[in-house]
Amino acid sequence: MSHKVIVPIGPYHPLQEEPEFFQLYVEGEKVVDIDIIIGYNHRGIEKLAESKHFDQVAFLVERICGICSSSHPYAYVLAVEDILGGEANVVPERALYIRTIIDELQRIHSHLLWLGLAGHFIGYNTVWMWAWKYREPVLDMFEMITGNRNNYAIFKVGGVRRDIKDEDAPVLKKALDDLVPALDMFRGAVMDDPVIKARLKGVGILTKQQAIDWCVIGPTARASGLNIDVRRDEPYGATDRINWNVIVEKEGDIFAKTVVRILELYESVSMIRQCLDKMPNGVIDADVKDIPPGEGIGRVEAPRGECFHYVKSDGTNRPIRHKIRAPSFMNVASNKVACVGGTISDAAITLAAVDPCYCCTERVAVISKPENKKIMNGWDLIKLSQEKTDKLKEEIKNAGIR
């Protein structure tokens, strides 16, 4: 006789400390179903974008996420430039290279962040410390180019806001050179370690057909054998002017997802080096004034997958509709199949393997209520979430286990 037990994980993810709530339905140790509850992190950015003018929206969408904070403004300016006739026809050559440098630097810091967290979670705290240590120089590079370690404020419709100084290029190259031995170490630590292999191989498998049906993207799709990458499929920035490879693995398990991300780090380093070498001199901004009526779609390959922005303009100075779809919106839903069939002990790393980003996923709702104007601080939210957890515990105690 088996009892179905519900194991609540959340509303704070044990790994990534972001608000989310998973209810695992288990029989013994085995996960038989999962309910994903999100919505703890709404800021109503789609609605807000309709009230900002085109220049302001780039700053607004930058704040969707602090980790992939160049992907959203980049996809947004691409969508607006799509209305204007396409990025390649609008943006000066030098700005294309700067855009790609920023985009790839962001991929390096994001993948290192995930690698550290994943290592921490399976009990490799050394990997965690190292990964975050070597992430720091990447943030320093951001600071050198843009003045900011996060939220770079460099993208604008028609170009970029800041140039890379000639004297900075050798410093950036030196920092990249110093990063490669660290990447070699991670590759060795993950790919040659029998314990990590035993822990991650065959865990949380997402098959190729499941990846297609759930429309997953990015490293999650590429680890399941789907050969897709927006950078190659619809080149933007300087991605079609330099040589690099799309990393694809077949197994679909967490090990494959880790391998894809580690190997992509090398590709990003190589891409930035090539951009710094090939970057022509010239202006960095086309000085776009008016946005004509029309609709445009912008897509970039964020660290987590395709980031999709749709902008509709009616000829005024603000968009009348701005649809944002972050990669995690598609990837997180696939946990419904990746998690089921595994054990509870594998659940949390499986849930984290898509590198979920809730800030990105939940940016649509408006949480203002006229009849209840209470402003909540962090403590209130924590209290609320604890109350909800307690409530659910009580329910489960009363209903689940007999």
Contacting positions for another protein (CB under 8 A): 38-39, 42, 44, 46-47, 82, 85-86, 212-217, 228, 230, 233-235, 294-297, 299, 306, 308, 310, 312, 321, 323, 325, 329-330, 333, 336, 362, 364-370
Minimal distance in Å, beta carbon 85 to another protein?
Answer: 8
Of the candidates 252, 144, 124, 260, which has an alpha carbon nearest to the alpha carbon of residue 196? 124
Question: How many angstroms separate the CA atoms of 2 and 140, rounded?
Answer: 54
Q: Structure tokens of 370?
A: 């006229």
- Of the pair 324, 353, the CB lying nearest another protein is at 324
Q: Structure tokens of 96?
A: 């294309």
Residue 58 near residue 155 (C-beta atoms within 8 A): yes
**Residue with tokens 């609540």, as numbered in its chain:** 8
Question: How many angstroms separate the CA atoms of 220 and 67, rounded?
Answer: 17
- Whether residue 11 is preceded by a cis peptide bond, meaning omega within 30 degrees of 0, is yes
Minimal distance in Å, beta carbon 330 to another protein?
Answer: 6
- Of the pair 64, 196, the CB lying nearest another protein is at 64
Question: How many angstroms separate the CA atoms of 159 and 91, rounded?
Answer: 5
CB-neighbour burial class of residue 202 (10 A; exposed 0-12, middle 13-18, buried 19+):
middle
Minimal distance in Å, beta carbon 398 to another protein?
Answer: 20
- Of the pair 198, 212, the CB lying nearest another protein is at 212
Minimal distance in Å, beta carbon 24 to another protein?
Answer: 17
Minimal distance in Å, beta carbon 36 to another protein?
Answer: 9
Please give the full DSSP string across 93-129, using - where no structure is assigned: HHHHHHHHHHHHHHHHHHHHHHHHHHHHHTT-HHHHH
Residue 99 near residue 74 (C-beta atoms within 8 A): yes
Minimal distance in Å, beta carbon 59 to another protein?
Answer: 21
- Of the pair 75, 141, the CB lying nearest another protein is at 75
Q: Structure tokens of 19?
A: 């608000």
- DSSP state, 205? -
- Of the pair 124, 214, the CB lying nearest another protein is at 214
- Of the pair 143, 233, the CB lying nearest another protein is at 233
Minimal distance in Å, beta carbon 402 to another protein?
Answer: 27
- Of the pair 127, 330, the CB lying nearest another protein is at 330
